[in-house]
Amino acid sequence: MKKYKVCVYAICKNEEKHINRWYESMKEADEIYVLDTGSTDNSATLLKNLGVHVTTKTYEHFKFDEARNDSLNLLPEDTDICVCTDIDEVLSKNWRENLEKIWTKDTDRVRYNLNFSFDEDGNPISSYYISKIHKKNKYKWSHRIHEVLTCTESEENIITTDTFYIDHLPDRTKDRSNYLKLLEEAVKENPLDDRDMHYLGREYMYNNSWDKAIDTLKKHLNLSSSVWKEERSASMRYIGRCYMAKEDYINSEKYYKLAIKETPFLKEGYVELGYLYYFIKEYALAICLLEKASSIKEKSNTYINEEFAWNETTNDILSICYFYIGDKEKSIENALKALTINPHNERIKTNYKNMLKS
């Protein structure tokens, strides 16, 4: 017998290719509600045909937090557990049963694992905790992009579980060019918001606007509210990447070192600085940093962890660096480790064969 009334809610725009897969995952819920924000494809019809409650609303100036709050407001007042997902996500089987086993009358929110990206064999590479399952009348969404669920009361009881998870399976070709504009608007509206400033700097970096990214990320670091070390470290690494793209290797090295100093327990900074040294042919220094990276086995459970730090990259570069300093044994050893992690990489396969012959 079901203990609680569980409702799924989501926003949607032109997601027809994901809808059947998403619904099959979400149908364990008692009811499913979707706010369609202006689809021009067949999304709304497909959802309705599956029995999903669909409401359509278009926005003159779209904000993700506003749309999320509007979708949350669609849920019945007697909803015990609200499950917010995106249409390109899939919950693990029996999630409803596992959720009800851990939920109590005192639970406000659940933290669970999001598998963000996968290797060619479908194994998760980048994973971290998210918490978008919650009580109905104690939360609201904030931030117009990269929105976050915010408690409206002074205290909340969050429980963490590994009994279920969610897979992120996006359409990588989907246009996300509006992200930059939304972030620029957010920072203009509130230039003291450290979260938006960090995301804006990152978005400038993604768009190869190196100088804008450097300036914005430095502003993030200088904000008094910028206190989360992992995010600060990420800003420093992004600045290092931008300087590297500008061929300013001295400043690139400086900011990678600052990132490591900020979070010496994170693998990402060592890998990026090691890659810089490899790129400028300082192979001995690269080996030192990458061997340190290899010794770090614990991955951050936040979104800061990056795919390149946990796939074959570290051993791949180590293999090449050892080759250039004449250590054939170490070179072969690391090439084999890289292939164990990713047996589909043809370049590493070729390198490995050539090393065995040399």
Looking at residue 269, which CATH number applies to its domain? 1.25.40.10
Residue at which a domain ends, from 168, 193, 215:
168
Both 117 and 265 in one domain: the answer is no
206 and 161 in a common domain: no
Residue 357's pLDDT is 84
Q: What angle do CA 326, 328, 329 make, to 5 degrees?
A: 135
Measured between alpha carbons, how far is 18 from 21 in angstroms, rounded to an integer? 6
Let me know whether 252 and 112 are in one domain: no
Same domain, 150 and 232: no
Q: What CATH number does the domain containing 153 carry?
A: 3.90.550.10
Domain identity same for 77 and 99 = yes
- Average pLDDT over the chain, rounded to an integer: 95
| Residue 264, pLDDT above cutoff 70 | yes
For residue 331, being part of any structural domain is answered with no
Has residue 267 been placed in a domain? Answer: yes
Q: Is residue 282 part of a domain?
A: yes
- 332 in any annotated domain: no
Same domain, 156 and 217: no
Tell me what pLDDT residue 178 has. 86
Q: Is the predicted pLDDT of residue 1 greater than 70, yes or no?
A: no
> What number is the average pLDDT over the span 176-181?
86
End of a domain among 150, 168, 186?
168
Which domain, by its residues, includes 12?
6-168
In this prediction, residue 3 carries a pLDDT of 87
Same domain, 254 and 304: yes
Q: Is residue 357 part of a domain?
A: no
Across 346-351, average pLDDT: 94
pLDDT level of residue 175 (50, 70, 90 thresholds): confident
pLDDT tens-digit profile of 191-248?
999 999 999 999 999 999 999 999 999 999 999 999 999 999 999 999 999 999 999 9
Provide the sign of the torsion angle of the four alpha carbons 87, 92, 93, 97, taken in this order. negative
The tokens of 20 are what? 């059947």
Tens digits of per-residue pLDDT, 22-53? 999 999 999 999 999 999 999 999 999 999 99
Please identify, among 168, 196, 219, the residue that sits at the C-terminal boundary of a domain: 168
My answer on whether 155 and 277 are in the same domain is no
pLDDT tens digits, 121-134: 888 888 999 999 99
Number of domains in the chain: 2
Do residues 148 and 182 share a domain? no
Could you tell me if 127 and 211 lie in one domain? no
| pLDDT of 346 over the 70 cut | yes
User: Are 186 and 211 part of one and the same domain?
Assistant: yes
Same domain for 132 and 37 = yes
The residues, ordered by sequence, that sit 6+ positions from 57 with a Cβ below 8 Å of its Cβ are 35, 36, 37, 67, 70
Per-residue pLDDT, 2:
67
Q: Are 243 and 279 in contact (CB under 8 A)?
A: no
